[in-house]
Amino acid sequence: MSKQEIQHESRSPRFQQRKLIARTIGDELLLFDEETSTAHCLNGIAGEMWMACEGRSSAAAVTEFLRSRWPDIEEEVVWVSLSRMAAAGLLEEMIDAENISAGRRDLLRKLGLTAAAVVPILVTSILIPPAAAAASPCGGLASLCGSGKPPCCPGTHCANVLGTLVCVLNT
Amino acid sequence: MRVGIRVSDPLVLESVLSRVPAGWIRLQASVVDRLYSVVTPLVRRRNVRHFCVLYGDHTRLCRTERIEDILDHFESDLDLHIAANSQDRLFIHAGAVSWKAHTIVIPGRSHTGKTTLVAEFLKSGAAYYSDDFAAVDPAGYLHPYPRDLSVRTQCNGFERIRPEEFGAARAQPRPISFVLLTEYLEDGRWGPSPVSRGQGMLRLLENTPSARKQPGFALGVLHKAVESAEIHQGWRGEKEQTVRAVLNYLDGRSLT
């Protein structure tokens, strides 16, 4: 590793798994967050990424790990995916804002638009409704809502997504 | 699970007990997990409205002039309480039937059309597990949790129908073989697609009242339950078409 690479590696943000209940279902990984009562289903590559963050891992280290199965995967794409998982509450991101150069921010912005198309990373999340919600008809995440449909469950609200009214997570 | 029931009129007790799930035993316990109180008018006066009231612990659950409404509410609340707190079974909000060697589970909250489909399956000769809550043991086996079916009438009311009226037999404990994720869509056409086990588990988890309280247990049991299950998702139109397609598929033909 060159001096420049070592410097880059030491300044990179680190990602670490949050304490979630994890269960492998075939190729997929199911995660349950007890704090937010949210469940997530990660497809094969997303699950591997999450598993690779057992310790404090940089995007470079995770990329290296993934290349045994996905030789063409790019570090920047991994980095964006890990950042997104961190934003979804699956990973903790340890970051020093001063170390992120403007160029890297631009890259993140650009890749943010294309990463999903480059690598088929899929994370599906649902909010588990309280037990009492089972008694009353309420629309879960992504359920149709609006006129003639049940109201959205607690923690979600009705929003227009691409012309269709569906229940989405409160932000 | 210990449930206490007290009534102001002893004559009402038998009706209340008839709504407790089969297999209950009488205990002499001074401490219970949940206490239901049914207060009914003992004296009736002319020109006075007489209300029956149901309490769950200290909370008033229902106040109505019809004792049948009280009993329906009691049954529904008790089922939910059992589903949310059971330690040895995982309850999924789902209708469930068996067809030959297959078990079919249809998860969904109240009024999403589960009962309509269950009733149609029973009419077609399926055996009955449950209408509202599917009970799964830690080994992933589905057990009967038989309740009368609450079938919606044309006037938006409900009619209770005993499963025997459809000629349905009680199904035997078996692993889940087919999960149907579907909701009625007006003018919808039946065109399901297979869903991965992980995605299917997510949907089952969403319909598991105890998932928040005991997620580890819920994930473990659901994992076992879907281990060998096929999961299909899609909108449905008319119930007859959907049920016919599913039964044909299980008999070895196409699902559409």
Q: Is B7 in the same domain as B101?
A: no
Could you tell me the residue range of the domain that residue B230 belongs to? 90-250
Token code pair at residue A134: 């089972």
Q: Which of B51, B85, B119 is the last residue of a domain?
A: B85
Do B218 and B211 touch, CB atoms closer than 8 A?
Answer: yes
- Token pair 């923690």 is found at A155
pLDDT of residue A153 exceeding 80: no
Q: Is B102 in the same domain as B49?
A: no
- With CA atoms as reference, report the closest residue to B175 among B132, B253, B230, B215: B230
Higher-confidence residue of A44 and B97: namely B97
Mark yes or no for CB contact A21/B223 under 8 Å.
no
d(CA B108, CA A158): 19
d(CA A42, CA A89): 13
Do A53 and A82 touch, CB atoms closer than 8 A?
Answer: yes
Q: Is B69 in the same domain as B158?
A: no
d(CA B225, CA B239): 26
Q: What are the residue ranges spanned by the domains of chain A?
A: 3-126, 130-169
Higher-confidence residue of A147 and A165: namely A165
Taking domain A3-126, whether its CATH number is 3.30.1540.10 is answered by: no
Q: Is B66 in the same domain as B130?
A: no
CA distance A102 to chain B (A): 38
Q: Which of B34, B52, B85 is the last residue of a domain?
A: B85
Q: Which of B63, B85, B107 is the last residue of a domain?
A: B85
Mark yes or no for CB contact A135/B207 under 8 Å.
no
ipTM over 0.90: no
CATH code at B225? 3.90.228.20
| B256 domain-assigned | no
Of A25, A30, A137, the CB nearest to B109: A137
Q: Is B163 in the same domain as B225?
A: yes
The mean per-residue pLDDT over the stretch A43-59 comes to: 90
Q: What is the pLDDT of residues A62-110, one digit of tens each?
A: 999 999 988 888 888 888 888 888 988 899 888 765 555 545 555 555 5
SS3 assignment, position A68: coil
Do B87 and B75 touch, CB atoms closer than 8 A?
Answer: no
Q: Which chain A positions have a beta carbon within 8 Å of B206's beta carbon?
A: 39, 126, 128-129, 140-141
| B47 domain-assigned | yes
Nearest chain B residue to A138 by CA: give it. B109
Residue A79, pLDDT score: 87
Mark yes or no for CB contact A25/B201 under 8 Å.
yes
Q: Is B76 in the same domain as B124?
A: no
d(CA B107, CA B92): 7
Q: How many domains does chain B have?
A: 2
| B234 domain-assigned | yes
Q: Is B107 in the same domain as B78?
A: no
Do B54 and B61 touch, CB atoms closer than 8 A?
Answer: yes
pLDDT of residue A7 exceeding 60: no
Q: Is B108 in the same domain as B232?
A: yes
Residues A93, A94, A96, A99, CA torsion sign: negative
Residue A138, pLDDT score: 56
CA distance B92 to chain A (A): 10
Token code pair at residue A55: 């310790």
Q: Is B191 in the same domain as B70?
A: no
Residue A131, pLDDT score: 81
Q: Is B26 in the same domain as B95?
A: no
Please give the helix or strand (H or E) that residue A82 lies within, else none. Answer: helix A75-87
Nearest chain A residue to B218 by CA: give it. A32
Order of all β-strands in the sheet with B3-7: B3-7, B34-39, B52-56, B59-64
Q: Is B207 in the same domain as B108?
A: yes
Report mean pLDDT in 10-residue bins for chain B, 256 residues.
Answer: 94 94 88 95 80 92 85 91 94 95 90 88 95 94 91 66 89 94 85 92 95 95 94 91 92 70
Mark yes or no for CB contact A25/B226 under 8 Å.
yes
Residue A117, pLDDT score: 46
Q: Is B149 in the same domain as B72?
A: no
